[in-house]
Structure 1
Amino acid sequence: MLKKIGKYTILAKPVKCKYWKPGTNIVKYLCKKLKNKVKDGDIIVFSEKALATALGAIIDESEIAPSMFSKVIVFLLMRVIWGYMLGILTKLKKETLEWIRKYPVAEGAAHKQLALILGGLLQVLKPSSEAGIDTSNLPYSYASLPLNSCSIVEKLRKTLSKCLEANIAVMIVDSDRTYYNKKYSIALSSRKTCVKGLINLGVLSYISGRMFRAHFKPKATPVSYAGPCMSLELMLEIAEIADKVRGVGAGRTVFEMARRFNTSLNGVTWEMLSSINHYPIVIVRILGKN
């Protein structure tokens, strides 16, 4: 995909890979997969969820015992407040409102309990992607955990640059939205990141960004970056274009995923996920200024 972003022309190429299960040696895999395919200045953009899964940063939510607070949150906050009030106010899609109004109490309570532990109340109050936790494109009741360690991206850059014999940059991206106001250079993120300039206000960022869409443009969230200095605006644009070209795998949500495989919410298997195309990395190349 070729796209002009401001004064830059950007080439983004998704790389088809096998499904990365926990324990996948991604460095060894990518050193072989990308040999002679990258050059100095290229940016390798990782899907945070795919990377977290390969690194084993996942958890089985069926083993979490939800508190009464989490159960109340699911019923009142999700089904009622988000389903019939905030969801309409923030102009959520009709299909999104439908699954929120049918949000499963048992599974949802465990998910909210995990979000409370990892991110606190401002994350729990979000309707989805709480604290960077993601359940799509994972089997059974597994959820990927956020890669909040800022050292991961630098280690990946050093290791891959060495084996690929190219001075590359590395970015880790979450499809969860950051809302960006270009005029005032304000970027409202609803989760923790390692990128300077992103303002994490949890659910407040989510509500503000969606309510004032005339002033804030939604972009994929760069979780961390290692490489030459880059403006926040360009980083957000690269994160967004990479997120678009990689696609959604088995689905954007567990509900889409279950429909695709014609199974229950917890019925998706590793084998099912391995049967479809996955693009966990995107090679981004800045061709030059316009």
Structure 2
Amino acid sequence: MVATGRRALWSLCVCFAALHTNALRVTMRVSTVEVVRGDFVILPCSFYTSSPLSRLNIIWTLAPLSSPESPIQVIVYDHGQIIEDPSLIGRVGFTGIPWSADIMVNDTRVSDAGIYRCMVNNPPEMADPGIGELLLTVLVAPSLPACQWEGDMDAGGSVTLSCSVAEGIPTPEIHWDKIKPEEISLPINMDGELSGSVQIANVSSQTSGLYRCSASNLLGTENCYINLSIHSEVGESSSGILQGVLLTLAMSLMLLSLLVLVIWLHQTGQDGRRRVSKMEEEEEEGYNEIQYTPSLMKRSFV
């Protein structure tokens, strides 16, 4: 009697174990998938069943990152029929039905990102757990950043350089650099995830140059540029001009004085030479007159 009861209990345990072993199993081969926007991606979902596939039912749903509380039905396989969500018609499909629950999504968009759930039923088997899920991330290269400036461009003023990008996944890192005449990395203030600014106080002529904003993520880098030209102060400019004019006038007066002096010395030398020559001529004429005057000759012989 006891032996008979033990055999019955053993048979029941074996039947339960066999039933549990033959139960439907769903597994996700990966937990996360990444794709570049515009490319296609395969979302894997494997299942095991020991029953015929005549009543197989597969449902894929998506909880978008933008609204995870509102999942949508992506695609359904039910008794040999395939039903696609109207917004995904032509972009989603099964790859190995009925032996595989994998699906492919092509021409991927940012709105395709989110948590996907694969649910498989194959009556009379019960799914355990029957549901698998994975996270799809759609990568996007940084958009071309927009650069702008505001502030006082006169010496001593303050200028703010700002830069923003419209999109990028992962979130782009923003950097500001001065690249001409020398390359300098500048401290940046982030104004949200997709914009950053640089404040430059007490600007001077050395602040002038070419500035670059870079937005980077793992898909690449985009740049925009601003060329700053700081104006000199009016007082300093006028003072410099006045000093230049005064220096020019002083040099001109010195040159003019030297020229007058040279001319005067030259003229004085010529007049002196004329006077000396004239005196010599007069002396010579006087000597000749005294030597040959008739009255003198007479007096000489008396």
Where on the TM-score scale, by shorter chain, does this alignment land: which range? under 0.3
**Relative CO higher for 1 or 2, CA cutoff 8 Å, sep ≥ 6?**
1
Larger-gyration structure (1/2): 2
Question: How does the TM-score come out when normalised to structure 1?
Answer: 0.20
Question: How does the TM-score come out when normalised to structure 2?
Answer: 0.20
Relative to total residues, which structure has the larger helix share, 1 or 2? 1
Relative to total residues, which structure has the larger strand share, 1 or 2? 2
